[in-house]
């Protein structure tokens, strides 16, 4: 759109996430970081476009990091930055970037302070001060050991509450575009009964996507319809049109979803 009055608004920023951990792939741990990173990125005006979950395996991490960091504005990782032998994310990311690993003096100082009353800074704990050469730190207000930023790659914790704190620390610091806005309608109807309406309403409202999410509750079929757009006006118009279309078919839509 060369004659757009605000070309900057049209720039779409994308991110990818690499979730690192055998515990996710074994099914033992239910991942919570995908949803929280996705939601946080949305508020920053950055779209999470792809997620890969890989094992605690250096070649797998290196391959995922290099495939994704080169095609997205930002790459986040979660997991594998702790003090134990299975925490290999720093080494893997350094390898991916062709960088050495070094002890970050500020990270060392943070850990020395944190462990001063907790048994002292052992070799294992000092592992958490290791970073790819040239990296910056991301504050961790919960447990001392910081997250790491190197170029467009952000290394976050695996424990979701710690990652939440690291995301808080990054809020507002990354360039993003227009946030994707969304609105939801819920309806006690089988989605298959209104599939044509959904498709036609989406087509009639450029820049809007309608997602349909069926559910079965209390023995009844229903669906939530989520409309997404970066344009608040288009979003409202699309939502009104869908609601009117459902009403014309005899279905009452509940704003906000069911």
**Residues in 102-131 that interact with its own copies by CB under 8 A:** 118-119, 122-125, 127-128
| Cα–Cα distance list, 76 to 109, 127, 155, 169 (Å) | 25, 20, 6, 14
What are the tokens at 100? 């050495």
Q: Is residue 26 involved in binding its own copies (CB under 8 A)?
A: yes
Q: Is residue 191 involved in binding its own copies (CB under 8 A)?
A: yes
Tell which positions 31-90 bind its own copies, by CB under 8 A.
Answer: 31-32, 34-42, 47-56, 60, 82-86
Tell which positions 202-221 bind its own copies, by CB under 8 A.
Answer: 202, 209-216
For residue 137, the minimal CB distance to its own copies (Å) is 18
- DSSP E strand stretches across the chain: 13-20, 46-54, 74-78, 101-103, 130-132, 136-138, 147-150, 153-156, 181-187, 209-217, 220-229, 254-255
Q: Is residue 174 involved in binding its own copies (CB under 8 A)?
A: no
Contact indicator for 179, 42 with CB cutoff of 8 Å: yes
Tell which positions 126-165 bind its own copies, by CB under 8 A.
Answer: 127-128, 142-143, 159, 161
Element holding 107 (H helix, E strand): helix 105-115
- Using CB under 8 A, pick the residue from 169, 178, 226, 234 that binds its own copies: 226
Closest CA to 68 of 6, 17, 107, 131: 17
- Pairing, β 13-20 against β 46-54: parallel
Taking the least distance from each CB to its own copies, the nearer of 32 and 99 is 32
For residue 237, the minimal CB distance to its own copies (Å) is 18
For residue 65, the minimal CB distance to its own copies (Å) is 13
For residue 3, the minimal CB distance to its own copies (Å) is 28
- Using CB under 8 A, pick the residue from 6, 8, 30, 233 that binds its own copies: 30
For residues 49, 69, 149 and 128, what is the CA-based torsion angle, rounded to 10 degrees?
Answer: 100
């Amino acid at each position: 759109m060369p004659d757009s009055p605000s070309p900057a608004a049209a720039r779409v920023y994308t991110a990818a996430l690499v979730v690192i951990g055998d515990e996710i792939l074994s099914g033992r741990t239910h991942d919570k970081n995908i949803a929280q990173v996705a939601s946080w990125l949305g508020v920053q005006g950055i779209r999470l476009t792809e997620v890969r979950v890989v094992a605690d395996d250096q070649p797998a991490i290196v391959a995922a990091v290099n495939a994704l960091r080169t095609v997205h504005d930002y790459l986040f990782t979660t997991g594998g930055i702790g003090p134990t032998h299975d925490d290999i994310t720093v080494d893997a990311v350094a390898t991916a970037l062709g960088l050495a690993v070094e002890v970050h003096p500020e990270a060392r100082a943070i850990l020395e302070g944190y462990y001063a009353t907790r048994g002292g800074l052992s070799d294992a704990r000092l592992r958490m001060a290791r970073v790819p050469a040239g990296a910056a730190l991301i504050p961790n207000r919960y447990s001392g050991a910081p997250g790491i930023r190197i170029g467009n790659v952000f290394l976050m914790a695996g424990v979701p509450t710690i990652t939440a704190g690291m995301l808080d620390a990054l809020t507002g610091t990354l360039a993003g575009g227009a946030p994707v806005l969304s609105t939801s309608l819920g309806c006690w109807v089988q989605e298959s009964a209104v599939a044509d309406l959904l498709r036609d309403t989406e087509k009639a409202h450029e820049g809007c996507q309608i997602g349909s999410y069926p559910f079965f509750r209390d023995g009844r079929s229903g669906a939530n319809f989520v409309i997404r757009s970066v344009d608040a006006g288009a979003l409202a118009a699309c939502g009104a049109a869908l609601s009117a279309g459902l009403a014309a078919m005899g279905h009452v839509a509940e704003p906000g979803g069911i």
